[in-house]
Amino acid sequence: MSLTTLARCANLNLAHSSYAHFANTVVLVFAMWALIVSSIPLVITLYLALIVAALYLKGSFFPAPLKGKLTVKPGNILEVNNQSNSIRHAQLAYSWLAILITYSDGKRYCLCRDSLCEADYRRVVAELKREQ
């Protein structure tokens, strides 16, 4: 890995992702629609609707999006907000939309394409592909 590549990937600022918010909203709408048109009794439907609404408010339909300062380091190390974590797996199959990152401790996060500028996002994808 070249020093130039590392310098380009250092200290990137992750913005709020509208993709992640949109995806959570779509799942909420479809889940509520499925509950409304189902033949489940009303009491159970209301209970399940409350569970779905609580999950939406927690934002836990999908892995949490990364926020803050990002640094990609050699050896599959990802530093977010000055906390270094070793990457066990980075799923790049859907990198046109987002990267699903699993840390060595099992926690999963999402790096959405719209949280970085296009050039920085491509550099991060290239670094993660190189490390795999």
Same domain, 73 and 98: yes
pLDDT for residue 8: 46
**pLDDT tens, residue by residue, 1-37:** 444 444 445 578 888 888 888 988 999 999 999 999 9
**pLDDT tens, residue by residue, 69-81:** 888 887 888 888 8
Same domain, 7 and 51: no
Q: What is the pTM of this model?
A: 0.75
Same domain, 116 and 80: yes
Same domain, 112 and 78: yes
In total, how many domains does the chain have?
2
Kindly report the number of other CB atoms within 10 A of residue 27's CB atom: 15
Number of residues assigned to the chain: 132
Q: Is 50 exceeded by the pLDDT of residue 116?
A: yes
Q: Give just the sign of the alpha carbon dihedral 86, 91, 96, 98.
A: negative
What does the alpha-carbon distance between residue 84 and residue 35 come to, in Å, rounded to a whole number?
Answer: 41
Same domain, 104 and 77: yes
The 10 Å CB-count burial string (b at 16+, else e) for 84-113 is ebebeebeeeebeebbbbebeeeeebbbbb
Q: Which domain holds residue 74?
A: 3-15+63-131
